[in-house]
Amino acid sequence: MSDRYFQAPLRALAATLALCLLAPTQALAIDGPSAAVAVKALNFVQPKPAKPIPVAIVVDAGQTAAGDAIKGALGADIAAKVVEGGGDIAGAAAVIVVGKADMTAKTAAGQLVIGDMACMEAGRCALSVERQASGAAKYHVNSAALAKTAVAFDKNFQMLVTAH
């Protein structure tokens, strides 16, 4: 390794390392397309829920239209219903939080709580999706929130998510 031949690439590598600055994660509100991507995570929940997978979309009072928009974006593998904050979410494999509702105390074990980045970062939601300009998706998981709801993902999927 003392070979002078490699000095230039080593310098370049060091320069790259020096340039590696922290960039903030972009927060995105959950909408229909994001929710449609987010519920794909349910394919990796262990044990796998049977299809169609029941999902509750929780909206703030008077915001049912927003919930309906999300419901319309979900695929045929999802059986979704829209409920207002205090509504019944029993039996749902996942809960999508659209507004500011805090479902922490209301969700049962095994229910995956999906929301926007702020919800995930605050620990009120276990999972959030960041849709990237490239067309790729990044799944963010709040590990503490996930552990609290006793939801387990397939290990391969778990290694692909961004854990917080």
Partner 1 sequence: MYAKNMLLAATGAAALLVATGTQAQTIDYGMLQDAFGQAVTTGATGKPQVQSDAPAAMHIITAEDIKASGLDNLPDILGRVAGVDVLRWGAASADVAVRGYNQAGNPRLLVLVNGRQVYADHYALVTWSAIPVQLSEIRQIEVVKGPVGAIYGFNAVAGVVNIITYNPLYDTAGAATARFGNHGQREIGLSKAMKLNDKLGARFSAGYKEADEFEQGRLSSFDRLSMRDPESLSASGAVMAQLTDTIQGGIEVTHSDVKQLEMMPSAVYTFQHFKTTSAKVDLTADAGAIGLVNFTAYRNWLDFDYSSIGSSNVTTTVAQLSDLIQFGTDHTVKLTGEFRHNEMDQFLSEARGSIGYDVWAVSGMWDWKVTPTLSFTNAARLDFFEMKPDGIGTFPRPASSYDVSRTKASFNSGLVYKPTDVDTVRATYGLANQLASLVELGGLYGTQTVAPGVRLYILGNPDLKPSEITSFELGYTRALPAINGNAGINLFRQKTDNVKAFLGADTLIINRVPVLTVVNGGESKSWGAEVEVEGKTDAGVSYGVSYTFTDINDNLTVNRGAAPTRPVLFEGATPRHKVEGKVGYTLGALTAQANLSYQSSRTLLKAPAALQPLTAVKIDGYWSAGATIGYQFESGTEIRLTGTDMLRPDTLTVPGLRTERRLYATVSQKF
Of 73, 74, 107, the closest CA to residue 88 belongs to 107
Distances in Å between the Cα of 77 and the Cα atoms of 16, 37, 54, 71 are 44, 12, 9, 12
Q: Which is nearer to partner 1, 41 or 101 (CB)?
A: 41
Binding site for partner 1 (CB under 8 A): 3, 5-6, 8-10, 12-13, 16-17, 19-23, 25-26, 37, 40-41, 43-44, 46-48, 130, 132-139, 143, 152, 154-160, 162-164
| Prior bond of 54 cis (ω within 30°) | no
Q: Which is nearer to partner 1, 10 or 61 (CB)?
A: 10
Rounded least distance, CB 111 to partner 1, Å: 16
Q: Which is nearer to partner 1, 31 or 154 (CB)?
A: 154
Q: Which is nearer to partner 1, 15 or 105 (CB)?
A: 15
Q: Which is nearer to partner 1, 139 or 149 (CB)?
A: 139
Residues 6 or more apart from 92 whose CB is under 8 A from it? 54, 55, 56, 81, 111
Residues 156 and 105: their CA atoms lie apart, in Å, by: 29
Rounded least distance, CB 148 to partner 1, Å: 15
Rounded least distance, CB 131 to partner 1, Å: 8
- Phi/psi zone of residue 69: left (φ > 0), alpha (ψ -120 to 50 degrees), beta? alpha
Of 71, 122, 72, 70, the closest CA to residue 101 belongs to 122
Secondary structure letter of residue 6 according to DSSP? G
Rounded least distance, CB 95 to partner 1, Å: 19
Rounded least distance, CB 76 to partner 1, Å: 14
